[in-house]
Structure 1
Amino acid sequence: MLRLDPFYPIVPDTAWLARLLGEGIKLVQLRLKNVDAGAVGAEIARAMQLCADHRCQLVVNDYWREAITAGADFVHLGQDDLRTADLGMIKAAGIRIGISTHSPKELETALAAAPDYVALGPIYPTKLKEMPWAPQGLDRLAEWRALVRCPLVAIGGITLERVPDALAAGADCAAVVTDIVTNQDPEQQTQNWLEATAPWRNLSTGKPPP
């Protein structure tokens, strides 16, 4: 089974990506926001080069066509994207797929696509954006863990204080946005996250530490 780093920051552009790569992250999602459509391909290409230089796994959010063109090897799709994406084309290009879920029905839809990871959220209340779903909580996370055989990503409202509980409940990694990009010292906070998730990173069994 694919192994994911337990710390999964999500960044809005390559400027943020360059800041965090220097801190030693090994898994990151590029979720481009407010980028001109004509610049998406160039941003993905730059992100790929930056991540290659730092030996970091890059996941491209949403832009699966541009990811194929750029030669990326991992994309993340929301449920709306999943309905319109050409999964056959994506997989033919050798690209791995992560899929967001928020309900049992969405999980069923995601699993039918044979994803390389499934994300569940929001686990906790989040300030990132208005969510139509109530917080899922740790019990739902544990339920998802029993239902999926691929890696499970927890997202939404996860902080340094909460991440041990999320990982212990069954998540393979925690996706983080607000706790990094709104922090007064994102680089130091990234180091804090790397330290907090180190016990899970060093495991060979895939089980949470005692």
Structure 2
Amino acid sequence: MHPDFPYQLYLVISEESCVHFPMLQVAEMSIEGGVDIIQLREKNLDTSAFIKKAEALKKITDKYRIPLIINDNLDVAKAVDSFGIHVGNSDMPPTEIQQKWDRNKAIGYSIEYLEQLENEQTQVANHLGISPIYSTATKTDTVTEWGIEGIKKIRALTPKPLVAIGRMDAGNAAEVIKAGADCIAVVSAICTSEDPKKAAEKIKSQIHQNQHENL
């Protein structure tokens, strides 16, 4: 667990990613199963609709005292006073976000190639998304498939909290944490599950088991 980012299981959620239950229900079930931070990712909504969805989700995250991250929309993040925002290379850069928003807010930044570790955006970011560890159908605009060796390389080059995303599930969470990630970000393994609570519990168990083995 990273002292600056004490979250271990990170759910990335959207309405369309949720198969068996409505999004808000999946969010609540997943929190009960061990998710401790949630990112709302709605690429196809206009800002007004995105804000309404974020407000509804924030009622749940506030109820459980879980941080809410907004994907790539500073207007929405400001409107709902979210814990933070997550951006990639083609989004508003972290340096600009920092100028336009409360500096105490968390900024997540996706690392898609090693050279990014040396740029100003990475320095400004609070935590880094390693995207993707394994290629995934939910995110097709990525540059590098990092794999386990990629996590190890990045871990050796930065002390910042690392959030691993890309086909993460209970079967690979332990090895990803062992390789140097601080947090596992999940989409399909929870959102498409017939039992989101149990799916979250299984992944969290793997994270904890590996951490105890490394003590």
TM-score range, shorter chain: 0.7 to 0.9
1:209 paired with 2:214, answer: yes
Q: Distance in 2 between matches of 1:129 and 1:25?
A: 21
Is 1:8 the counterpart of 2:18? The answer is no
- Do the aligned residues in 1 keep the contact of 2:72 with 2:92 (CA within 8 Å)? no
Identify the match of residue 73 of structure 1 among 70, 73, 83. 83
Distance 1:12 1:86, change over 3 A: same
- Counterpart CA distance in 1 for 2:113 and 2:160 is 17
Unaligned ranges ≥5, structure 2: 16-22
Kindly provide the amino acid, as one letter, of the partner of residue 177 in structure 1.
V
Measure how far apart 1:89 and its partner are: 1.2
Aligned residues: 204
Whether contact under 8 Å (1:27, 1:57) holds in the other structure is: yes
Alignment partner, residue 20 of structure 2: none
1:87 maps to 2:98 = yes
The amino acid across from 2:71 in the alignment is N
Compared with structure 1, are the counterparts of its residues 32 and 132 closer, same or farther at alpha carbon in structure 2 (3 Å cutoff)?
Answer: closer
Match of 2:167 in 1: 157
The match for 1:54 among 64, 67, 71 is 64
2:118 aligned with 1:96: no
- Structure 2 distance, partners of 1:97, 1:18, is 24
Change (3 A) 1:40 1:131: closer
- 1:123 and 2:128 equivalent? no
Q: 1:135 aligns with which of 120, 126, 145?
A: 145
User: Given the alignment, which residue of 107, 110, 120 partners 2:117?
Assistant: 107
Task: Report the Cα distance in structure 1 between the residues aligned to 2:177 and 2:31, rounded to whole angstroms.
Answer: 23
Is contact 1:116–1:151 with CA below 8 Å preserved after alignment?
Answer: yes
- State the AA in 2 paired with 1:45: E
- Give, in whole Å, the separation in 1 of the partners of 2:164 and 2:120: 15
Compute the displacement of 1:36 (Å): 4.0
Deviation, 1:195, is: 1.9
- Residue 138 of structure 1, CA deviation: 1.2
Aligned equivalents of 1:165 and 1:24: distance in 2?
19
Alignment CA distance shift 1:132-1:41 (3 Å): closer
TM-score (norm 2): 0.83
C-alpha separation in 1, matches of 2:122 and 2:207: 31
CA displacement 1:169-193 (0-9 Å, x = unmatched): 1000111112112223222212212
Q: CA deviation at 1:148?
A: 1.4
- Paired with 1:109 and 1:79, the residues of 2 have a C-alpha distance of 11
CA contact (8 A) 2:155 2:180 kept: yes
Secondary structure in 1 matching 2:198: helix
Distance 1:122 1:26 in 2: 20
Identity of aligned residues (%): 24
- Higher relative contact order structure (alpha carbons within 8 Å, sequence separation ≥ 6): 2
Q: Is residue 170–residue 203 contact of structure 2 (8 Å, CA) maintained in 1?
A: yes
Relative to the length of structure 1, the TM-score reads: 0.84
SS in 2 for 1:29: strand
